[in-house]
Amino acid sequence: MENRAILAKFGQRVRLLRKEKSLSQEELSFKANLHRTYIGMIERAEKNITLINIEKIANALDTSIDHLLKFDSGE
């Protein structure tokens, strides 16, 4: 998968799960201890996120890393 495509799919997945939890980007960033603009950049596929920050976002969304990364299964 092309680098940009995987970033876009991950960003879409974060946005979907964030909205399912009725969280704003600011609320998610607070829960994940990340900057609000960083969350926006992830959702817009502008940042190549680290595994550490993937774990922070998964925890903030009360989900597993595995569930967060299931963006190829049609979800």
pLDDT(72) > 90: no
Among 7, 17, 74, which residue's Cα sits nearest to residue 46? 7
Q: What is the mean pLDDT of residues 47-74?
A: 90
Q: What is the mean pLDDT of residues 52-56?
A: 98
**Residue 3: pLDDT band by 50, 70, 90 thresholds?**
confident
**The pLDDT of residue 71:** 72
pLDDT in tens, 10-25: 999 999 999 999 999 9
User: Model-level pTM?
Assistant: 0.89
Q: Do 34 and 75 form a contact (C-beta atoms < 8 A)?
A: no
Sequence-separated contacts (24+) of 27-34 with Cβ below 8 Å: 28/57, 28/60, 28/61, 31/59, 31/60, 32/56, 32/57, 32/59, 32/60
Question: In order of start, what are the domains of the chain with their CATH numbers?
Answer: 3-68 (1.10.260.40)
